[in-house]
Structure 1
Amino acid sequence: MAMTLRLSKEQTEALRRKAEEEGRSMQEVALTAVDQYVRARPERIRTIVADIMATDAELLDRLSR
């Protein structure tokens, strides 16, 4: 599926530099970043929920009664 991704000048230059450093295309670098973000998101959410549950355990216990 094709899509248009609008980047700022700074983002474009950072992506171009990273692609050149790695000897890959800008598209390959961007796709890798998207894949990593999508894979890591569920784990980040679990970590955040666990932190909230630990921090607010007493409050959550009282609310569950």
Structure 2
Amino acid sequence: MYHDEIIAEVWQNRDAFTSEHRHNLADMVAHLQAQQQTNHRVIVDRREGLDHALVQNRAFR
């Protein structure tokens, strides 16, 4: 069987994440939603014609 190191790492991270939340989907979703609310990364969007004022106001986040 072919062993892909990237896929193995993704599965390892997935397994660690689910274990941290006791394999409880509601806990995982709550964690991801909370993380999304506190994440203040700037998104670069190179689509032409996009109203960049909307991006600055986080309308697309």
TM-score, normalised by the number of residues in structure 1: 0.31
Larger Rg, first or second structure (1 or 2): 1
TM-score of the superposition, structure 2-length normalised?
Answer: 0.32
Which of the two has greater helix per residue? 1
